[in-house]
Amino acid sequence: MYNISDIEKIVGEQREFFRTGKTLDVEFRIKQLKKLKKAVLLHREEIEEALNKDLGRAPLEAYFCDIGSLILEINETIKGVRRWARPETCFSGFHCFPSMLTKVYKMPYGVSLIISPFNFPILLSLGVLTAGIAGGNTAVIKASSKSPACTAILQRIVSEIYPEKYVTVIDGGHDVADMCLAQRFDKIFYTGSPKVGKHVLNEAAKNLTSTALELGGETGNWCIVRKDADIKDAARKIAFFKMLNAGQICININQIAVAEEISAEFISELKKAFEKQIGKEPVNNPEYPKLINSAAYDKCEDLADKYRDRVVFGGHGNRDLCKFEPTVIYPVDIDEDIVQKELFCPLLPVVVFKDSEVGHVLKTISEREAGLSLYIFTGDVPWAKKVMQSMQFGGGCINEVCLHMMVKGVPFNGVGHSGMGAYHGKWGFMEFTHPTSVLIGSRSFNLPLREHPYDSSFKKFFISLFER
């Protein structure tokens, strides 16, 4: 168990190490990233076992969600970090004559704090660490107490390859997180709920610490299925995504708005898709993940019971296993409580609307807090593109689910109540560095235009000429 003195010591040693300048060397950073990749692959089976123990993940799901995605992230970073870290040379402008060159250096913040969640305990800790290392920072990772097996393997992996003065993993509950937040870090990266995100931001403000927040969104992520959508394709993809990690995904579909004209057919296809992918008894299927703990299970079951009269699929679970069936609640009014909050479980409420009134649905969504994701299924892709460019949300897909977060070279981020800041690849490097502009002054040909006295018509002419 950590106390405040332990945390202070770790942060102090990391700050001292950072000040040696070793992390400024890009080759040093690449070497550390290669160590991380090698260690993750070496411990692959142990990571898969830990993910199964904490979240009931099947080995393949554990690999493509956490391990494989992490390896892709590390590979992209190793390949690009030399280019990203290279100082940029800019033309200063004639108004700066004769000092015509300015350099922009990409400087690390220093000692960073990474607070990771339970739902993707490997990817959302070591994936963020990848960006931190690429930027030249040291890191303290506060791993989730809700996923103890994964936290244990994280501690083991990190301690094997990095000294504590460079990177370390801390376990413990909210009390330990608050001990960390009480320290003066140079960068904080938090992934979790908006409620805790506000607390993190409030604590960071005390030291004016640069903070990135990746949040789930207070009112959930919408999926819109219009009457011209490919119904079977939409149902298949939505069923897959809702079962993934038992719905405990920050970008998961929280609620669906489906056109009245196809709603009955869509519900039928959705049921078929669930049964085809996970069977008629998902709770007994070893491939179906579990909820993180009994508290999460009880919350899910209580909400299902509240809408029991409208459960058209699923609705049952096993508390001992912490598994709850994919559950479709239909129909639900757009103003009901269940579609105005993040569920983080396998419940899926369905709102029905007339296709001609889709604009009203979009208006209602836009009036609520910005979600982390938005998904649209339609045959009218030009219309969907216009919608995507007019709504506030982190990222999303047209006629697809979740894959936007796996695309190389693009940011993963939220907006407003779904977060601030961005990462993945170059965007992660940028998040963990700050640009420093340095003008290279000339000692020759300096004109006295900026100097007193100012009553010279010659000076007035040239300053007006250059600064416009």
Catalytic residue IDs: 214, 250
The DSSP result for 163-209, as a single string, is -TTTEEEE---HHHHHHHHTS--SEEEEEE-HHHHHHHHHHHHTTT-
Give the containing element (helix H, strand E) for 330: strand 327-332
Instruction: Report CA dihedral (2, 6, 8, 13) to the nearest 10 degrees.
Output: -130
Q: State the amino acid at position 37 in one-letter form.
A: K
If one counts every other C-beta atom within 10 angstroms of the C-beta of residue 94, the result is: 12
Q: What is the DSSP letter of 122?
A: T
Burial class (CB in 10 A: 0-12, 13-18, 19+), 68: middle
If one counts every other C-beta atom within 10 angstroms of the C-beta of residue 105, the result is: 15
Residues contacting 428, CB < 8 A, separation 6+: 73, 77, 128, 130, 131, 134, 135, 422
Pairing of strands 311-313, 327-332: antiparallel
Give the containing element (helix H, strand E) for 213: strand 210-215
Q: Residue 317: which of 347, 297, 288, 303 has the closest Cα? A: 297
Q: What is the DSSP letter of 67?
A: I
Which tokens go with 429?
């490097």
d(CA 126, CA 114): 9
Q: What are phi and psi of 168, to 5 degrees?
A: -145, 155
Contact 466, 450 (CB under 8 A): no
